[in-house]
Amino acid sequence: MDGLNMSRRIRRTPYTDRVEEAGVRGFSVVNHMLLPKAFGPTVEEDYWHLREHVQIWDVSVQRQVQIMGPDAAALVQWMTPRNISNAEIGDCFYIPIIDDKGGLINDPVMLKLAEDEFWLSIADSDVLLYAMGLALGRGMDVEITEPDVNPVAIQGPKAEDLLASLFGKKIRDIRFFKYDWIDFKGTRQLIARSGYSRQGGFEIYLRGGHLGPALWDSIWEAGQAFNITPGCPNLIERIEGGLLSYGNEFTRDNNPFEIGHGKYCTIDNSINYVGREALQTIALNGVSREIRGVAFDGGPCPTCSKAWPVMVGKTQVGSITSAIWSPRLKRNVGQSMINRGFWDPGQTVTVHSQEGSVRLGEISALPFA
């Protein structure tokens, strides 16, 4: 089955007209909004281009949950096990959000805009409703909205040169996971060195959707000198790079320790948040599974639209949730939760992909080398 029934529930973005003109080959839906799925003739061509040049991505689906008011910092801290008290204005923090059992609700990028104003740049779940529920339940003095903010990512090794040519050399001074402000047509716009690839780049959080086509066109024109193409988060690059996708590799069924987010969790009693006791118990007992890479043989695998068992002999030790052929490693690469006892890199496994084949492989660290 292919194709989406477009409706008002599936929101277009300020860039969707441009994306369609640029020849998008399909969409996914994230946060009830369109996310381009592919442009080039193949995902492999997009992959090589992203690694060598620069791409413009419509990532408006990275919606902002804006939390403002006297209790804004307290509410954000209540939602995450990461200590945010040392965040400064101008910082981006990658923060797990968990429920009372330690189950993951989202893994947004938090931007601290002011002492009493935060954006949570969310993955695919309704964080706004969860935040509202917490705030209402605790009687917190905050205003929670989804502002008209529409991120566009410029990713790839030539992103910095391109953006410096457009917005000036101060772009070069923005460090990883920091943001600054640029002028676009007399408006103040936020730009961060971040993005959902390992090839380097920036994200512009455009305030004011009516400016979307003009911003796209400006980047596109300046990008001609840098061999720009339209793109989108690339599955090969994401899997190789060990970037995780909420709803695919992890859900509320997983805790932060299982996905390598232990480093973001403060489990002593110095901060308080929903799920702290649960995390303390999990930390004490250790986890029974962790996210890993799986490299496997047998020629390009099909699309992973349901979980593929990962076996050691007759024992199922995991399920691959995303997988694709890597033209660089010349093997299939996937991501999977893997049970304790089998998760050491080098462990041989078999992968049972949905078209019925059994493929030989082994566990790998993430990111893939």
- Asked if 196 touches ligand THG (CB under 6 A), the answer is yes
Least distance CB 81 / ligand THG (angstroms)? 13
CB of 61 to ligand THG, least distance (A): 8
**Per-residue three-class SS string for 310-332:** EEECCEEEEEEEEEEEECCCCEE
151 binds ligand THG (CB under 6 A): yes
Does the protein bind ligand THG through residue 195 (CB under 6 A)?
yes
User: Interface with ligand THG by CB under 6 A: which range of 70-78, 135-143, 192-200, 278-286?
Assistant: 192-200
Query: Applying CB under 6 A, which of residues 121, 322, 326, 332 lies at the interface with ligand THG?
Result: 121
Q: What are the beta bridge partners of residue 35?
A: 28
The residue (of 179 and 184) whose beta carbon lies closer to ligand THG is 179
- The residues in 264-283 that bind ligand THG, with binding defined as CB under 6 A, are none
Identify which of residues 324 and 351 has a Cβ nearer to ligand THG in the complex: 324
Q: Count residues near ligand THG (CB under 6 A).
A: 15
Among positions 201-230, residues that touch ligand THG (CB under 6 A) are 203
d(CA 256, CA 248): 15
Q: Residue 178 and residue 110: Cα distance in Å, rounded?
A: 11
> Is the CB of residue 179 less than 8 Å from the CB of residue 151?
no
Q: Does 160 bind ligand THG (CB under 6 A)?
A: no
Span of 190-198, 273-281, 289-297, 317-325 interacting with ligand THG by CB under 6 A: 190-198
Shortest reach from residue 92's CB to ligand THG, in Å:
7
Exactly one of 14, 36, 108, 256 binds ligand THG (CB under 6 A); which one?
108
47 vs 296 by CB, closer to ligand THG: 47
Q: What is the CA radius of gyration of the chain?
A: 21
**What are 64's two structure tokens?**
């902002």
Part of the chain binding ligand THG (CB under 6 A), chosen from 101-109, 221-229, 278-286, 345-353: 101-109
Cβ proximity of 152 and 219 under 8 Å: yes
d(CA 151, CA 122): 11
* Contact between 121 and 95 (Cβ < 8 Å): no
59 and 233 Cβ atoms separated by less than 8 Å: yes
Can you read off the two tokens belonging to residue 322? 């995303």
123 contacts ligand THG (rule: CB under 6 A): yes
Nearer to ligand THG, 121 or 254 (CB): 121
When asked if residue 66 is in the footprint of ligand THG (CB under 6 A), the reply is no
- Is residue 118 at the binding interface for ligand THG, with CB under 6 A as the rule? no
Q: DSSP secondary-structure letter at 225?
A: G
Q: Determine the straight-line distance between the first and last CA of the chain, rounded to whole angstroms.
A: 34
Using CB under 6 A, which of 29, 51, 148, 177 touches ligand THG? 177
CA-to-CA distance for 238 and 242, rounded, in angstroms? Answer: 6
Give the nearer residue to ligand THG in terms of CB position, either 219 or 349: 219
Residue 157: is the preceding peptide bond cis (ω within 30°)? no
d(C-alpha 167, C-alpha 161), whole Å: 10
Q: How far is the CB of 196 from ligand THG (least distance, A)?
A: 4
- 19/366 with CB nearer ligand THG: 366
Contact in structure between 35 and 27 (CB atoms under 8 Å): yes
Residues 332, 359 contacting (CB under 8 angstroms):
yes
Q: Which amino acid is at 65?
A: V
**Strands of 109-114's sheet in order across:** 92-94, 109-114, 117-121, 64-68, 143-145
Please state the closest distance from residue 175 (CB atom) to ligand THG, in A. Answer: 11
Considering only residues 79, 109, 267, 301, which one is a binding residue for ligand THG as defined by CB under 6 A?
A: 109
Q: Is 335 among the residues that bind ligand THG (CB under 6 A)?
A: no
Q: Which spans of this chain sit near ligand THG (rule: CB under 6 A)?
A: 62, 94, 107-109, 121-123, 151, 177, 194-196, 203, 243
